[in-house]
Amino acid sequence: MAREFGAVVDIPAVGTRVQLLATPVHHVLAYIIKAADGNTGNIFIGDADVSSSKGFPLAPGKFITWGVGWAQAQVGELHTVLLSSKWVDTATNGNDVEYFVVVTGE
Protein backbone atom coordinates (compact mmCIF):
# COMPACT_ATOMS: atom_id res chain seq x y z
CA MET A 1 0.00 0.00 0.00
CA ALA A 2 1.27 3.47 -0.88
CA ARG A 3 1.41 6.41 1.47
CA GLU A 4 2.13 10.08 0.86
CA PHE A 5 3.70 13.03 2.58
CA GLY A 6 4.67 16.53 1.62
CA ALA A 7 5.43 20.02 2.81
CA VAL A 8 5.54 23.68 1.85
CA VAL A 9 8.99 25.26 1.94
CA ASP A 10 9.45 29.04 2.14
CA ILE A 11 12.08 30.67 -0.08
CA PRO A 12 12.48 33.94 1.82
CA ALA A 13 14.50 36.03 -0.62
CA VAL A 14 16.13 36.11 -4.04
CA GLY A 15 19.57 34.52 -3.79
CA THR A 16 18.66 32.42 -0.74
CA ARG A 17 19.01 28.81 -1.84
CA VAL A 18 16.80 26.43 0.11
CA GLN A 19 17.27 22.67 0.37
CA LEU A 20 14.02 20.73 0.00
CA LEU A 21 14.65 17.95 2.51
CA ALA A 22 17.77 16.99 4.45
CA THR A 23 17.18 13.23 4.74
CA PRO A 24 16.88 10.48 2.10
CA VAL A 25 13.45 9.08 1.28
CA HIS A 26 13.29 5.33 0.58
CA HIS A 27 10.87 3.23 -1.53
CA VAL A 28 9.77 6.15 -3.69
CA LEU A 29 7.13 5.61 -6.35
CA ALA A 30 6.91 9.26 -7.45
CA TYR A 31 7.43 12.82 -6.31
CA ILE A 32 6.25 16.24 -7.38
CA ILE A 33 7.84 19.66 -6.93
CA LYS A 34 5.40 22.55 -7.43
CA ALA A 35 5.66 26.34 -7.42
CA ALA A 36 2.95 27.60 -5.06
CA ASP A 37 -0.12 29.11 -6.73
CA GLY A 38 0.29 32.39 -4.84
CA ASN A 39 3.89 33.03 -5.93
CA THR A 40 4.62 36.32 -7.67
CA GLY A 41 7.45 34.99 -9.85
CA ASN A 42 9.27 31.88 -10.96
CA ILE A 43 11.10 29.48 -8.70
CA PHE A 44 14.19 27.63 -9.93
CA ILE A 45 15.05 24.00 -9.16
CA GLY A 46 18.61 22.73 -9.32
CA ASP A 47 21.56 21.48 -7.33
CA ALA A 48 23.47 23.35 -4.65
CA ASP A 49 24.48 26.15 -7.05
CA VAL A 50 20.95 26.97 -8.24
CA SER A 51 20.14 30.67 -8.51
CA SER A 52 17.41 32.96 -9.79
CA SER A 53 19.17 32.85 -13.16
CA LYS A 54 20.34 29.21 -13.16
CA GLY A 55 18.09 26.20 -12.76
CA PHE A 56 14.88 24.68 -14.06
CA PRO A 57 12.23 27.42 -13.91
CA LEU A 58 8.68 26.84 -12.66
CA ALA A 59 6.03 29.54 -12.96
CA PRO A 60 3.42 29.93 -10.19
CA GLY A 61 1.13 26.90 -10.06
CA LYS A 62 3.32 24.76 -12.35
CA PHE A 63 4.93 21.50 -11.29
CA ILE A 64 7.32 18.78 -12.36
CA THR A 65 6.85 15.08 -11.61
CA TRP A 66 9.35 12.23 -11.35
CA GLY A 67 8.23 8.62 -10.99
CA VAL A 68 9.38 5.05 -11.34
CA GLY A 69 5.99 3.79 -12.51
CA TRP A 70 3.71 1.18 -11.03
CA ALA A 71 5.06 -1.66 -13.20
CA GLN A 72 8.59 -1.11 -11.91
CA ALA A 73 7.30 -0.85 -8.37
CA GLN A 74 5.57 -4.22 -8.67
CA VAL A 75 8.89 -5.91 -9.40
CA GLY A 76 10.72 -4.12 -6.58
CA GLU A 77 12.57 -1.50 -8.59
CA LEU A 78 12.04 1.27 -6.08
CA HIS A 79 14.36 4.15 -5.52
CA THR A 80 15.87 6.12 -2.72
CA VAL A 81 15.41 9.79 -3.55
CA LEU A 82 17.79 12.36 -2.23
CA LEU A 83 15.56 15.42 -2.06
CA SER A 84 18.55 16.87 -0.23
CA SER A 85 20.14 17.13 -3.68
CA LYS A 86 17.27 19.36 -4.82
CA TRP A 87 17.66 23.05 -4.05
CA VAL A 88 15.41 25.96 -4.99
CA ASP A 89 15.77 29.69 -5.40
CA THR A 90 13.30 32.37 -6.40
CA ALA A 91 13.01 35.29 -8.79
CA THR A 92 10.95 37.32 -6.28
CA ASN A 93 11.04 37.48 -2.49
CA GLY A 94 8.74 35.34 -0.37
CA ASN A 95 7.82 32.61 -2.85
CA ASP A 96 7.07 29.05 -1.73
CA VAL A 97 7.72 25.62 -3.16
CA GLU A 98 5.66 22.53 -2.38
CA TYR A 99 6.76 18.92 -2.61
CA PHE A 100 4.75 15.73 -2.45
CA VAL A 101 6.21 12.21 -2.25
CA VAL A 102 4.47 8.85 -2.75
CA VAL A 103 6.21 5.84 -1.16
CA THR A 104 5.33 2.22 -0.67
CA GLY A 105 4.10 1.11 2.71
CA GLU A 106 7.18 -1.07 3.19
Question: Order of strands, edge to edge, in the sheet holding 56-58?
Answer: 18-19, 87-90, 43-46, 56-58
How far CA 97 is from CA of 27, 103, 106, in Å, comes to: 23, 20, 27
Comparison of pLDDT for 1 and 28, the residue scoring more:
28
Amino acid 20: pLDDT: 85
pLDDT tens-digit series, residues 7-42: 899 999 999 999 888 777 777 778 899 999 999 999
Comparison of pLDDT for 6 and 50, the residue scoring more:
50
Q: Is residue 88 pLDDT above 80, yes or no?
A: yes
pLDDT tens-digit series, residues 33-74: 999 999 999 999 999 999 988 999 999 999 998 776 554 545
Q: Indicate the domain borders of the chain.
A: 1-8+36-97
pTM to 2 decimals?
A: 0.81
**Helix, strand, coil abundance in the chain, percent, nearest 5:** 10, 50, 40
